[in-house]
Structure 1
Amino acid sequence: QKWYKGFTARHSEISARLTQNLTKCRSYLTEGKIRNWFQEINDYLTANHLEAVVKDSQRIYNADKTAFFLAPRRMKCLIRKGDKTAYSFIGNDEKECLTCLMIANASGDLPPPLIIYNYERLPAHIINMMPKKWAIGKSESGWMTFEYVANIFNPWLSENEIPRLVLFFVDGHASHLSMDLSNFCTEYQIILFALYSNATYVLQPMDVTVFHPLKNAWKTGVHNYKLENDDQKLKREYLLHFLKRYFKDDKNKSDVVNAKPNLEFKIKNEFLEYLEAKLGNEKLSNFKLEEEADDWSGVVKDTNLFMLWKNIRNKLKMLKEQTNLEVSKLQEKNGSLPDS
């Protein structure tokens, strides 16, 4: 332990991080493959004279599902030194979950979500609690993409007078790309695109930006529910209360419209941290002293490195300002997600 503390003190550029499991097929993913995928999408849109669709943020949609576990994973707590284990008693099966399918467009608009329950017959009290325009379904597998698109999403497009064609990005799972769904989308001018295989953990806007804070809020909500209800079993209908309350907050709605800039900010910020760690404290201090200057006045061989560092810093500032602007715009909008 003493050696470890000394080692980390000597190497300030190193920090402890939890590893993220990555399957072998995902590990083969490269920037070039992703850029080629974007180019193929661009070539298709250009060949079919659909450039105008890309410029209209109301016509670009992304769908994704997420599972809400009724007994979320463990939370950190304080225990007496020497005790090996801290138990958290739960009233639910730790594998029991509810599935939510959500769609959002690049403007930050959220059509009514679909909540999927694993029931043979939906209880009347849950049906009665559903907001009027939200969708509820029952499924043993948890997949209802076609039914949702046909019965909820397509009517919502018409009701909100969204011009057709629209672009609809989903992951490449077989449940999302059924023949019925493909035929329906073709008939109703919804262009279906599959995200690049084994890259949804990077490319999926909903997964990357929206669901992460949503899941963190869910864990906190479940924890508070247990405290307020003397560790009673979590009722399945609690998810409805949670989602309605969560999306009433404009700050949470803004996660959708900020998906692209937030993802770009994250990537560039991680690269900047890596670059600054390699520069060393002395060189980084010199760069910061010259940051406001038009030209680099230090060692000539560091000119290109300084300009790279400065450009990334400026881009990060612009992305942060863009995010704040989009939040302000979203707060002025009405009815992004119907409450009832």
Structure 2
Amino acid sequence: MTQYHAEKHHGIPTATVRYRLSNKFKNKGRTGPFPVLTDREEIEIVYWLQQMERKGFPISRNCLISKVSSFLEAHPRPNPFRDNIPGRRWVKCFMKRHPQISFRTPEGVTSASAKVSEHNIREWFKTVSEYLAENELSDVLNDPSRVFNGDESGFCINPIPKRVIATKGNKNVSIVEPANSKQNITVLFSFAADGTVVPPDVILPYKRLRKDIIQSFPGHWGLGCSDAGWMDTKNFVLYIQKVFHPALLRRNVKLPIIYFVDGHKSHTAFEAADVCAKLGIILIALIPNATRILQPADVGIFRPLKNSWSQVVDTWKSKHKSEFVTIVNFGSLLDKAMKAALKQSTIQNAFRVCGLYPFDADSVDYTKCIAKNQKLMESTVDILVQPGEYIDDSHENTNMATGNQQGAREKESQTLGFDDSLTSMILIPVSAIEELIEIIGEAKLDQFKNQNYVPVTKEDEALLHVYSNIISRYSIPQDAATLVREQSCSTNSKDIPVVARDELQETANRDELQETANATYENGFVDDNSDAGNITTLPTLVDITNNCENAAKRKCEFSDIFDLPATPKRNKKHRNYKHSSTVVLTAHERMQELLANEKQKQDAENQKRLNVQKRLERKREKEAEIENKKRAAVARAVERLEKKKLCEEIRKAKKLERENKKQTKKIVKVGGKKTKLLV
């Protein structure tokens, strides 16, 4: 049924239907059962999900269900869930109620890369700009044909498709894998900022190349060999000499040129820097662990190239039944994939979003930086403020549930310490308004305070609108309790929420009215004609403060379950930052760096030798001491043994003497008298 027929059938005016369907109508209601969580709690969960995403720990579906289940166990309430565990349907409805979040595929980032901050990247841009300005090479950055980026990537010879077409319900779907299905070929690509592609260099895991393999690759490509099939210094130097530099000469590119590479040891070796310096190529190493942000090849070129490679391989397999891709036909297929994927606009856009051409640090997508600058973290504090008429609070007043559900929700809100004025909040940093006032300036603010001021330009009109609806509407209360949202859910005396001035005036009027009512009741009478007769109990400033404190206490309980991890910070002891390497890898700078490293190594070796000598001396001293102790112990043992023998001999002599005396004297009794007889 169309809208027109529905209006005629039910007898509803067209203007009423249009008004109800427009954004002006606030009390639209909500279909379906009433949500288990309050709107404020769901807003808190959405904020937590966004913060976890920003810190590099996005939440999966099962993790969200587990957290909500733990919260329901800590705050029991009637719910249709089994064992307080929400199902997939609840997650689907939750995502539908909050369209600002959705399921996304995350990008894997190493812990070292997650610790690179915006400050580190801007410092790198500053260092490169200063070096080029000192050496009068800034004009190179203004020519896109003289700005290059090079990087390696691995290509699987026979990629296995993730999804195939098979019989519905069949659980045993198999695919035959060739013997080299896990083999990857390393290819070095170089791209210019104007969208041109330099012939690549293919590194094969062979000692020698067969004739049929060499003939299968295009003639202007580079071919190299290594034991593991990876890039090394020897192959990189050969690529610069025999492929990259000749390609520049064929295109009549003005030298010198800038070649951005990553910090791999094959790129930063002295041999590579020396060859590049002689050929007019300035090697510049990107900041470590930031290639996913600054390298055009990784940001916007390799992904379409890999997709094109998979499509080319699938097409080739469809035409060659039961055959697999080998190294012999790898070059021709990769050439087709490059022609299909490497478009000029794609390469230009990749350089632009990385800030390499035009060379601008502001063009970089800093949202990829998981780590934040420590100063920025300390100066920006997220707080909860009530914006008044700008928040659509109508859904709170709509009758969308049964009486029992409504009562349970009100009871839960009271239990958690919520005030009705705190149910609709938005996040705004205090520093944002302060910076806004500084940007506008005192002169403009004085003009905006004049009621007769008329804006001349659209910019002035926009600033006047910002002043009227943000700056002039809000002030910082000094005596009211604050509800501050921080990552650790702790309060800080410097972090004060922004509250509407109209609300402060209304609170003050309520306090005066409450005092009048209390004085009237204390006198024992109420004038029927006075306004105090119609007064009900109004919240005082103490009540508002208590409500805010209860809400802050409830916030900490909420954060015990929906907690946030620490923001990653760069570890200065990491191996990539322990010794700061030269950003611009010319031969001179590289030589100075190598000499400094060599000196450090020599000093370390000398220190090791001294430590070894000291350890040997201490070992000899300990051994001599132990030997002396052993000798002293042996001497004491010999002395004790000699004393023992001497005592034994003395004892034997005395015993023998006693026996001799016994033998010489015998007492005999004769006739009742004792007589001594000698033997």
Q: State the TM bucket, normalised to the shorter chain.
A: 0.7 to 0.9
Partner of residue 252 from structure 1, selected from 340, 343, 351: 343
Q: 1:92 to 1:11 in 2, by over 3 A?
A: farther
Quote the residue 1:106 is aligned against: 193
1:20 equivalent in alignment to 2:107: yes
Quote the residue 1:127 is aligned against: 214
The number of aligned residues is 285
- Distance between the aligned counterparts of 1:163 and 1:139, measured in 2? 33
Q: Give 1:243 shift.
A: 2.8
- Distance between the aligned counterparts of 1:262 and 1:136, measured in 2? 31
1:301 equivalent in alignment to 2:469: yes
- String of CA shifts for 1:195-246, please: whole Å, max 9, x gaps: 1000011111112111110001112222233333234222223332223223
Partner of residue 70 from structure 1, selected from 157, 160, 163: 157
1:3 equivalent in alignment to 2:80: no
Say whether the 8 Å CA contact 1:104–1:111 is kept in structure 2.
yes
- Distance between the aligned counterparts of 1:131 and 1:228, measured in 2? 22
Quote the residue 2:302 is aligned against: 211
Instruction: Give the counterpart letter for 1:99 in structure 2.
Output: T
Matches within 5 A, 1:270-309: 296=462, 300-301=468-469
Matches within 5 A, 1:1-340: 1-72=88-159, 74-77=161-164, 86-141=173-228, 142-143=230-231, 144-249=235-340, 252-261=343-352, 267=365, 296=462, 300-301=468-469
- For the residue of structure 1 that corresponds to 2:198, the secondary structure is coil
Shifted more, 53-62 versus 232-241: the winner is 232-241
Q: 1:281 to 1:231 in 2, by over 3 A?
A: farther
- For the residue of structure 1 that corresponds to 2:331, the secondary structure is helix
Say whether the 8 Å CA contact 1:108–1:256 is kept in structure 2.
yes
- String of CA shifts for 1:2-44, please: whole Å, max 9, x gaps: 1121121112111112232222211111111111101100010
- Distance between the aligned counterparts of 1:148 and 1:251, measured in 2? 20
Say whether the 8 Å CA contact 1:115–1:137 is kept in structure 2.
yes
- For the residue of structure 2 that corresponds to 1:258, the secondary structure is helix
Q: Please, which runs of 5 or more residues in structure 2 have no aligned partner?
A: 1-87, 356-362, 369-389, 393-457, 472-679
- For the residue of structure 2 that corresponds to 1:113, the secondary structure is strand
- Distance between the aligned counterparts of 1:147 and 1:52, measured in 2? 28
Instruction: Give the counterpart letter for 1:242 in structure 2.
Output: L
Q: Please, which runs of 5 or more residues in structure 1 have no aligned partner?
A: 271-279, 283-292, 304-340
Say whether the 8 Å CA contact 2:152–2:187 is kept in structure 1.
yes
Q: 1:193 to 1:263 in 2, by over 3 A?
A: closer
- Distance between the aligned counterparts of 2:243 and 2:101, measured in 1? 49
Q: Give 1:96 shift.
A: 0.3
Q: 1:193 to 1:88 in 2, by over 3 A?
A: same
Looking at CA atoms only, which structure, 1 or 2, has the larger radius of gyration? Answer: 2
- For the residue of structure 2 that corresponds to 1:93, the secondary structure is coil
Q: Give 1:253 shift.
A: 4.0
- Distance between the aligned counterparts of 2:91 and 2:167, measured in 1? 23
- For the residue of structure 2 that corresponds to 1:111, the secondary structure is strand
Q: Give 1:185 shift.
A: 1.2
Say whether the 8 Å CA contact 1:92–1:233 is kept in structure 2.
no
TM (norm. structure 2) is 0.39
Instruction: Give the counterpart letter for 2:288 in structure 1.
Output: S
- Distance between the aligned counterparts of 1:160 and 1:82, measured in 2? 57
- Distance between the aligned counterparts of 2:260 and 2:281, measured in 1? 10
- Distance between the aligned counterparts of 2:326 and 2:268, measured in 1? 33
- For the residue of structure 1 that corresponds to 2:347, the secondary structure is helix
- For the residue of structure 2 that corresponds to 1:29, the secondary structure is coil
Say what the alpha-carbon RMSD is for the aligned residues.
Answer: 3.1
Shifted more, 32-41 versus 294-303: the winner is 294-303
Say whether the 8 Å CA contact 2:263–2:288 is kept in structure 1.
yes
- For the residue of structure 2 that corresponds to 1:63, the secondary structure is strand
Q: Give 1:83 shift.
A: 6.0
Say whether the 8 Å CA contact 1:63–1:169 is kept in structure 2.
yes
- Distance between the aligned counterparts of 2:107 and 2:219, measured in 1? 39
Q: Give 1:161 shift.
A: 2.4
Shifted more, 11-20 versus 169-178: the winner is 11-20
* Greater relative contact order structure (CA < 8 Å, 6+ sep): 1
